[in-house]
Structure 1
């Protein structure tokens, strides 16, 4: 649960204030979270894949939501 919240907040922040090129940051972050799960909880390969896909999907959707929350050019 903490990883999902972290990824959601990170995605919202980078989507709102960053460019699309910052979305490449998510892959190593998700890989580190999955490797932490393997090391601490001894997850199987299937569990690692499910966890990785879930975390990556969560952060990408949050990034898109953050990009939609950007102000329009005429509004500022």
Structure 2
């Protein structure tokens, strides 16, 4: 649950203030979170795959939401 919150907040922040190339940052973060899950909770390969896909999808959707929250150029 903490990993989903971390990825959501990180995705919103990077989507709002970063460029699209910053989205590549999510891959190593998800790898670290899944690796922690393997060592801390002894997850199986299927559980690692499901957890990794869920975390990556959550981060990408939050990134898109953050990108939609950017102000338009004519608004400022």
Which bin holds the TM-score, normalised by the shorter protein?
Answer: over 0.9
TM-score (norm 2): 0.99
CA RMSD of superposed structures (Å)? 0.3
TM-score (norm 1): 0.99
Q: Where does 1:1-76 land on structure 2 (aligned, <5 Å)?
A: 1-76=1-76
Q: How far apart are 1:44 and its partner, in Å?
A: 0.2
Q: How far apart are 1:41 and its partner, in Å?
A: 0.4
Q: Distance in 2 between the 1:14 and 1:75 partners? A: 21
Gaps of at least 5 residues in structure 1 are none
Q: Secondary structure at the match of 2:72?
A: coil
Q: Secondary structure at the match of 1:40?
A: helix
Please list every run of at least 4 consecutive aligned residues from structure 1 whose deviation after the TM superposition is greater than 2 angstroms.
Answer: none
Q: Distance in 1 between the 2:39 and 2:22 partners? A: 27
Gaps of at least 5 residues in structure 2 are none
Q: Secondary structure at the match of 1:57?
A: helix
Q: How far apart are 1:53 and its partner, in Å?
A: 0.2
Q: Distance in 2 between the 1:39 and 1:18 partners? A: 32
